[in-house]
């Protein structure tokens, strides 16, 4: 197998990029391709398999431009003259099957050139997020000049019989992120990407069908569309330290630097490698000798106390390794005894720790090098905050790492266990992207994918892409909220307008389950709200993350979320859509608002109950009462104080704190924000380097869920006070909540440039400097008084 070299990584990061649809030959967007989907003859259509394809061509001179379009099912890695140039395709579904567009001219030369593809199908063990038709590969030249590389019978292919899938993670849990690999180096095919390789024994590629762009008459199966996202980042990432070892002597500097390690013959050895933080990376092992030696890699987020049922998992401080078990996804290799053997995982692995177990036979094994290649969506951090408190930066850094690990070709709920793009998670992840990067490409892709997932009943799937449909009805409402966020924070009204028909279909579904008073009754499917904090004193009625309901199937939380969504939909329809829908949604919202007040308000407690039975109360219901405008003014302030201090309320987990904190800010308590971060502080104390899925850190399944990265939003929106004041962020509101701070500053990206603020207290006065993008005005709200802000620099002494 070819490895990731530094040169390859630099080329992939800085030269290769997806070209926009406007730069693609228009015939390829509207007419059947001349290139064919091909496969290797006499192999199963849908079973597990790893395949190689290649073609060599002679070019008279090195071209200045040579554009190709490439895709595969399930996945591919494309090489030109022995260099990795593209990976994909970006995940989607068969109605929108992505292809990558690459200019490979920098890798070509006059004379013989070889283009080669590694294609694999994980079969029935494929990731849940991987939709598939059958094993296939396609490459189309952009113009007649490049059509010399079109896939057809001139290509050759072969199955690599060295591979088999390795399933499971060693304990009972919901794991759907794909198999590990069993690889026998005796059987693998070496140097197959090189010009000099002899493919005379390979088979002539077999045609399946021509490539069909979406929308043409023949567009069934894979409906081809240009990938809307760039290639993923690749960056060499050395493993930080060797925490434990047995059966060999480790040289100084291993594995942080390239240092050879010898495992003696007839030895059972092990090593525990620590990245020092959680990461997504392709693992590469370069080795020599060790004939018939077995090497296994176990990738772990955390040490474990015991391994059993999902809800019996116990995790210690993530930095502690002595006396604990290391279990998880595995790869297993059998060495063939030759020099310069190399293994790189087909897909990336998520890990902080790697347990390496080695058993040698009669020949010693030399590990020439072992390292990772980090991967993820190529986000760039374009936001910063200074508060004088190192903890703020630590929380920001951990949230940024969490957001990045949960963002590859789509947003992920978690990189280790699922790699699925859920709407509830995605809404928060998109906001992190807006506030920290200004890059909305992955958010736009997410909104498109979720919109594509809508079923005949009108609602979206809870997650997409996913080959098993799952419906969380509340997540369809969060989809509308996510679209509303995009409308407010990104300047792209046409995109939002095109989505309004889908919004109408979602709300039409919900209207079918509204009673005469507007309240929802017996809403179908999974009505997930939050996992809720296990320490909550009264968890009555909470079932598998669903809120309590009364005997008639009524729930305050569901009614309040629907109310809030009607309000958001009405705002979008009023400016971008049809006035009749805006009027209809406002009327429904007004009715529902009054019903909620009549049905769930308990004056004696000063709280909204979860049901009309008034026997259970939660942060969730009272949070949504404020955010949906049921509770306003002094009442919202009083309710916010109860959210902050009333221990009798069912408590939200790290996920729903995103909403709880917004409600408390709206209730006038924003100056207390920095005191609300105990969950995040507990994560740090437990040695986590990313934010965990739930608040119970010992019994937590996933150590990396970006739905917990809300401080990366609120440090800017709440503390520094930077928020959108009109659709498209066309006006900016600055309303800081500095608490006890006397100095704070920072900046964040904006569609028109950068917003920068600086607050410094001198005596009883505040020196305030605010820089807004040119031609973008706004308002500063300071202690209840408003000050006009012009585009450019604003200086105030208050």
Distance, CA of 405 to CA of 418 (rounded, Å): 12
Give, to the nearest 10 degrees, the angle between helix 556-576 and helix 579-600.
160
Distance, CA of 388 to CA of 573 (rounded, Å): 44
* DSSP state letters, 282-345: EEEEEEEE-TT-EEEEEEESS-BSB--SGGG-B---TT--TT-B---EEEEEE--S-SSEEEE-
* Distance spanning both ends of the chain, measured CA to CA: 65
pLDDT confidence of 129, banded at 50, 70, 90? very high
Percent of the chain exceeding pLDDT 90 equals 93
Six token digits for residue 749:
């990206």
Under 8 Å between Cβ of 577 and 511: no
Distance, CA of 512 to CA of 519 (rounded, Å): 11
According to DSSP, the residues that pair with 289 across neighbouring strands are: 365
Could you tell me the CA-to-CA distances from 566 to 232, 420, 496 in Å, in that order? 37, 27, 16
Over residues 663-721, the pLDDT tens digits come to 999 999 999 999 999 999 999 999 999 999 998 888 889 999 999 999 999 999 999 99
Over residues 3-33, the pLDDT tens digits come to 444 334 443 443 344 455 558 999 999 999 9
pTM: 0.96
Question: What are residue 210's phi and psi, to 5 degrees?
Answer: -75, 160
Under 8 Å between Cβ of 460 and 450: yes
Over residues 231-261, the pLDDT tens digits come to 999 999 999 999 999 999 999 999 999 999 9
Higher pLDDT, 311 or 250: 250
Would you give the DSSP letter of residue 409? S
- 3-state secondary structure labels for all residues of 512-527: CCECCCCCECCCCCEC
pLDDT confidence of 307, banded at 50, 70, 90? confident
Give me the half-sphere count of Cα atoms (radius 13 Å) on the Cβ side of residue 244: 17
Question: What are residue 616's phi and psi, to 5 degrees?
Answer: -150, 145
R_g over Cα of the chain:
28
- Which is nearest to 559 in space by CA: 628, 503, 459? 628
Over residues 628-671, the pLDDT tens digits come to 999 999 999 999 999 999 999 999 999 999 999 999 999 999 99
Over residues 743-774, the pLDDT tens digits come to 999 999 999 999 999 999 999 999 999 999 99
Distance, CA of 693 to CA of 677 (rounded, Å): 15
Over residues 462-518, the pLDDT tens digits come to 999 999 999 999 999 999 999 999 999 999 999 999 999 999 999 999 999 999 999
Distance, CA of 798 to CA of 790 (rounded, Å): 17
- Which is nearest to 703 in space by CA: 316, 411, 414? 414
């Amino acid at each position: 197998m070819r490895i990731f070299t530094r040169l390859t990584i630099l080329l992939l990061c800085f030269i290769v990029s997806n070209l926009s649809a406007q730069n693609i030959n228009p015939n390829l967007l509207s007419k059947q391709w001349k290139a064919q989907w091909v496969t290797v003859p006499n192999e199963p259509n849908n079973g597990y398999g790893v395949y190689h394809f290649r073609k060599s061509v002679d070019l008279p001179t090195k071209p200045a431009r040579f554009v190709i379009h490439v895709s595969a099912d399930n996945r591919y890695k494309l090489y030109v003259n022995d260099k990795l140039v593209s990976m994909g395709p970006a995940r989607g579904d068969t109605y929108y099957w992505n292809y990558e567009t690459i200019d490979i001219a920098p890798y070509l030369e006059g004379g013989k050139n070889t283009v080669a593809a590694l294609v694999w199908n994980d079969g029935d063990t494929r990731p849940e997020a991987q939709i598939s038709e059958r094993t296939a590969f396609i490459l189309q030249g952009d113009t007649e000049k490049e059509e010399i590389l079109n896939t057809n019978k001139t290509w050759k292919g072969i199955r690599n019989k060295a591979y088999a899938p390795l399933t499971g993670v060693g304990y009972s849990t919901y794991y759907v992120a794909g198999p590990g690999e069993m690889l026998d180096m005796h059987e693998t095919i070496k140097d197959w990407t090189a010009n000099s390789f002899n493919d005379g024994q390979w088979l002539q590629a077999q045609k399946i069908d021509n490539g069909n762009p979406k929308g043409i008459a023949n567009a069934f199966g894979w409906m081809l569309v240009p990938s809307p996202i760039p290639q993923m980042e690749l960056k060499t990432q050395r493993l930080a330290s060797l925490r434990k070892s047995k059966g060999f002597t480790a040289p100084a500097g291993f594995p942080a630097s390239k240092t050879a390690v010898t495992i003696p013959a007839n030895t059972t050895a092990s090593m525990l490698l620590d990245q020092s933080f959680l990461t997504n990376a392709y693992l590469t092992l370069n080795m020599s000798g060790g004939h018939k030696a077995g090497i296994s890699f176990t990738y772990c987020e955390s040490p474990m106390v015991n391994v059993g049922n999902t809800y019996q998992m116990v995790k210690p401080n993530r930095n502690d390794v002595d006396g604990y078990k290391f279990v998880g996804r595995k790869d297993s290799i059998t060495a063939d005894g030759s020099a310069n053997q190399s293994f790189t995982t087909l897909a990336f692995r998520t890990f902080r720790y790697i347990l390496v177990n080695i058993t040698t036979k009669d020949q010693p094994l030399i590990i020439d090098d072992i390292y990772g290649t980090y991967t993820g969506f190529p986000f760039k951090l374009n936001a910063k905050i200074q508060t004088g408190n190192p903890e703020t930066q630590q929380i920001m850094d951990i949230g940024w790492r969490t957001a990045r690990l949960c963002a590859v070709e789509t947003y992920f709920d978690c990189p280790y266990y699922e790699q699925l793009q859920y709407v509830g998670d995605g809404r928060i992840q998109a906001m992190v992207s807006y506030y920290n990067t200004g890059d909305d490409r992955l958010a736009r892709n997410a909104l498109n994918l979720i919109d594509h997932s809508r079923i005949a009943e009108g609602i979206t799937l809870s997650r997409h892409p996913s080959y098993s449909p799952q419906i969380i009805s509340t997540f369809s409402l969060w989809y509308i909220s996510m679209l509303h966020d995009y409308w407010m924070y990104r300047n792209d009204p046409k995109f939002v307008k095109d989505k309004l028909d889908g919004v109408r279909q979602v709300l039409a579904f919900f209207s079918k389950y509204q009673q005469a008073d507007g309240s929802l009754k017996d809403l179908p499917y999974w009505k997930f709200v939050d996992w809720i904090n296990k320490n909550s004193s009264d968890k009555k009625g909470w079932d598998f993350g669903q809120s309590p309901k009364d005997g008639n199937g009524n729930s305050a939380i569901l009614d309040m979320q629907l109310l809030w969504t009607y309000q958001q939909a009405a705002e979008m329809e009023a400016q971008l859509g049809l006035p009749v829908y805006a009027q209809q949604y406002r009327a429904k919202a007004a009715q529902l608002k009054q019903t909620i007040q009549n049905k769930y308000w308990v004056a004696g407690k000063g709280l909204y109950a979860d049901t009309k039975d008034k026997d259970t109360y939660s942060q969730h219901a009272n949070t949504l009462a404020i955010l949906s405008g049921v509770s306003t003014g002094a009442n919202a302030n009083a309710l916010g104080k109860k959210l902050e201090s009333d221990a009798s309320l069912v408590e939200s987990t790290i996920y729903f704190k995103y909403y709880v904190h917004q409600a408390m800010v709206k209730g006038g308590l924003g100056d207390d924000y920095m005191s609300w971060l105990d969950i995040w502080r507990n994560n740090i104390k437990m040695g986590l380097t990313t934010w965990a899925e739930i608040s119970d850190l010992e019994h937590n399944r996933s150590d990396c869920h970006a739905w917990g990265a809300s401080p990366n939003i609120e440090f800017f929106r709440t503390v520094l006070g930077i928020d959108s004041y009109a659709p498209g962020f066309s006006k900016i509101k600055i309303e800081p909540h500095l608490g006890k701070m006397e100095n704070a500053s920072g900046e964040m990206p904006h569609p028109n440039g950068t917003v920068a603020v600086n607050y410094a207290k001198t005596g009883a006065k505040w020196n305030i400097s605010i820089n807004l993008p040119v031609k973008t005005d706004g308002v500063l709200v300071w202690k209840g008084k408003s000050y006009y802000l012009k585009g450019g620099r604003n200086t105030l002494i208050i």
